[in-house]
Structures are given as structure tokens and as C-alpha cells.
Amino acid sequence: MKKSSLLLILLIVGLSPLSCQKAPEADYAFDNVQVIDVKTGEIKPEQTVFVKDGKITLIVPSKEANLDGTMNTIIGNGRYLMPGLAEMHAHIPGNQNMKLLEETLFLYLSNGVTTIRGMLGQPYHLELKDKVLSGEILGPRIYTSGPSLNGNSVTSTEQADQMVRNQKAAGYDFMKLHPGLTMENFNQIVQTAQEVGMPYAGHVSVDVGIRRALEAEYASIDHVDGYLEGIVPSTIRVNPNANGFFGINFTKIADEALIDELVQMTVDHNVWIVPTQAMMERWVGPEDPEILAQEPEMKYMPPNTLNTWVRTKKQVIEAANYDPDQALKFNELRREIIKKLHDGGARFLLGSDAPQVFNVPGFSIQRELEAMTRSGFTPLEAIQAGTINPAAFFGAEGEYGVIEPGASADLIMLQNNPLEDINNTRSQLGVMVRGKWMTKADIYKRLDEIAKD
């Protein structure tokens, strides 16, 4: 029988060609969902997404879906499905307290963070990374730096060279640079890193400066570190070490006309930016720390951690030289720098620096998405910074951060459309990480347990 005749018969009896095919074997199917294509911003309605062995295997219009071979069907009823998010400036507990470790990883997952980049690595984080991927420990996939390279840990060019080689040999994904590096030691780190193929990211030391950091092609500059100092005119003679917290002391003498030069250098040298703007606003802003400590998500942090956060912020806002108007201007200027970088073509990654002062893992990524939209991003662009951009950053396009066949089944189901309002990323009904599904009820049950500990 000719193919055209077979199709005609199928149409006459009211069957689609797909419905006569063998049902795909699947662990899960998300039926009748609106799939968000984070590459284009297109929303594809009435889709069924099949998942098998932790991977997305098939996406078809729901009217054509055969669910007979599916073990678990999740009824979407027109709700939204988006890829899991990446927290690109995360921290993992520095000790091997397994209870605290598992709770921290779950807090990330509870808000749809299915990938993290650990920014202060320890040797056991390499083992942890493998245990998460194998399923032995529940958590987001992990990329990790090695131990910090800073002015105290790197005191000579010989030490700089050896530390880079040791971290490469150990298998860390990249190196984390902290403040205090001399220009000589920084240059040695860069030379050896380029020789062995080891990326480096993080802070910009005062002796190095933003222009040299950009020329050295950091993988990412986090916190927009060094940019504010970089727009202080050279004609104004200041002590560079008097810059204060991320340059806050130079707020009044910065010249915004100099931003464009730094934007062009950032783009030319292919340096990614991780703003962590929400953290900056909460840390140095004039808000009362006792009020911040009462926010709902704070109950998931250990009391001693929360008390430390309160003391830390009080030290900032109760200092004799603290000026609340200057603090607000500081963050306003930072948002302007971020906007100009964004408008000028610099590439961004979503990161919140959690856990940090009043930044609870997972929950803080929602605040950072909001901060990015306040800095000029559309909701789609902010979401891209946490989905397709991290995959591109790590050379893993198509492996995660998208809803496509072959990609990891890292998914968030939402009640409302996040492309209309970025706050709708909070309307989560469930999270899937590498094929493991957690309903909203599952998540809140575990969060309640964490809050009671």
C-alpha cells in the first residue's frame, strides 16, 4: 500500500500516524505543558515532554502523544515548563558536615537551581561533584574552583606557578582569584594558566586593576569587581587601597563617561560578567538587618549564621563614615555599569553569591533575577543568564539549560509565565533534576524539616 493511501486511511478513522506507533518508554511525561524556548523566547503550547534515564527524549504536540509507555504522567493543564537555573556564584560548605552539606544543596534545588559553580573549592568538593552526578547525593550538578589564590596564599611567582599546576592536576574546573595579588604574581598565574589551559575567575586585585584583568581574559569577573575603581579619572590622585567595599568610597568621584571604554574591553576580551547585584544591595543598603533577618527564607539558615549576617551588616551601616545616600548612589552606579555592559554586548551569568549576607541558597537566585531586570534586562535575558549562557560558558551547549531531546532533564514547572514577569519564576509547582521529580509538596516538606533543625 502506498504511504499516501495509509495516511488517508489514518485520517478517515481519526488516528494520527504517531498514535499508531509504539509508545515511547519513559520514566516521566509532562503532558499538556507550555514549553519555554529560552533561546528565542517562543512559548510552545500544548506540548508533551518525555523523560527517560535523566534525559529529555521526545517532545511532541500533546494531541499526538502516546502515554502508554510512560511510568509517571505529570498533568500540566497548560502550565509553563522551563529549564532549571544555574547559580554561577555559589558556595558549598567548607567542612564535611554531611547534614549541612545536603541541606545546602537541597536549598539550591528547592528554587530550581540545578547547576552550581562553587567559588571556593576544597579537595572534597571534587568527590562531592562525582557523588552528585552518580545520584549518591541529591543536588545540583557542580562545577568547582580550587582553593583561593590570593595575597596570602600566593606570595611568590614560584608559588603562583606551582599552585596553578597543582589545581590543574587535581581536576578542578577553574581557579578562584581573590584580592591581594601583586601584579607580578598575578602575571605568573596568568602565564602558567594559559600554558596548562586552566581558566580563572573572580575578584580583581587592586594592584592588578580592571584593565589588566580584562586584558588577561578572565573567564568571568564576579561582582562587577574593579569596574567602579576603573572609572575614577587618572587625574584624580587617590590611594587605590582606599576604595572601600567594592569601590564604594570612590562613588562620588567616578566618571560615568569612562564606562564605555571598559565595556568595549570586556567585549573584545570575551570576559563574562556575574553581577551579584542583589547581594550588593542587601549588604550595603540602609535596610535594618533585624528586619532582613525576619524574611521567610531566613528560617532555613542555622541561627549562628543568621546572627553573623546581622552583625556583619550592622558593622557596615553603623560605621562612623557610613552614608546611606552614598550607599544608594553606589548601587545606582553599579546598575548603570551593568546596564551599559549589557547594552554594549557583554555576556552575563546569573549568580547571587549564596550563602552570603542575607542571601539564602536558592532563594537568593530569585532576588538576583529581579535585580537583573532592575538593571535593564528583559525577563528572557535574565533567564538566559541562568540557562543557555552557563551552558555556553562551560562549552556544554545542548547538554542542559534547554528543553530539547538529548538535554538533561533539569526542569521547573511554573504556574505563571516568567517571560511576562520575572517574579513568576517563584510560582514553582515542582522541580526535576536529572530526571528526579520533586513536587511542590515534596519540596516544602523537606524545607520544613530544614527549618526545624
Model pLDDT for residues 262-306, shown as the tens digit of each residue:
999 999 999 999 999 999 999 999 999 999 999 999 999 999 999
Would you state the CATH architecture of domain 84-398?
A: Alpha-Beta Barrel (3.20)
- Element spanning 60, H or E: strand 55-61
Nearest C-alpha neighbor of 386 from the set 103, 90, 33: 90
Structure confidence by residue, pLDDT tens digits, 174-228: 999 999 999 999 999 999 999 999 999 999 999 999 999 999 999 999 999 999 9
Domain limits, the chain: 84-398
CB atoms within 10 A of CB 2: 7
Q: Is the pLDDT confidence value at 7 over 70? A: no
Alpha-helical runs (H) found in 216-285: 227-230, 259-268, 277-284
Question: Does residue 140 have a cis bond before it (omega within 30 degrees)?
Answer: no
**φ and ψ at residue 79, rounded to 5 degrees:** -75, 170
pLDDT at position 156 = 98
Distance between CA atoms of 263 and 210, rounded to whole angstroms?
11
Distance between CA atoms of 169 and 152, rounded to whole angstroms?
22
Q: What is the DSSP letter of 25?
A: P
pTM of the model: 0.93
Q: Is 453 exposed, middle or buried (0-12, 13-18, 19+ CB in 10 A)?
A: exposed
pLDDT at position 22 = 76
Task: Tell me which of 453 and 401 has the higher pLDDT.
Answer: 401
Q: Is the pLDDT confidence value at 449 over 70? A: yes
What mean pLDDT value characterizes the chain?
A: 94
Q: Which range is least confidently modeled, 52-56, 93-97, 418-422? A: 93-97
pLDDT at position 2 = 43
CA 177 to chain centre: 18
pLDDT at position 11 = 39
pLDDT at position 237 = 87
What sign has the CA pseudo-torsion 289, 290, 294, 300? positive
CB atoms within 10 A of CB 152: 11
Q: What is the DSSP letter of 22?
A: P
Going from the C-alpha of 28 to that of each of 51, 241, 388, 436, the distances in angstroms are 5, 56, 23, 9
pLDDT at position 8 = 40
Distance between CA atoms of 271 and 219, rounded to whole angstroms?
6
Angle at the Cα of 65 from the Cα atoms of 63 and 67, rounded to 5 degrees: 130
Q: Is the pLDDT confidence value at 307 over 70? A: yes
DSSP labels, 120-162: S--HHHHHHHHHHHHTSS---EEEEB-S-BSTTT--SHHHHHH
Band of the pLDDT at 21, cuts 50, 70, 90? low
Averaged pLDDT for residues 119-130: 95
Amino acid making up residue 395: G
Distance between CA atoms of 348 and 305, rounded to whole angstroms?
30
Averaged pLDDT for residues 40-46: 98
- The residue with cell 596568568 is 190
Nearest C-alpha neighbor of 394 from the set 345, 353, 349: 349
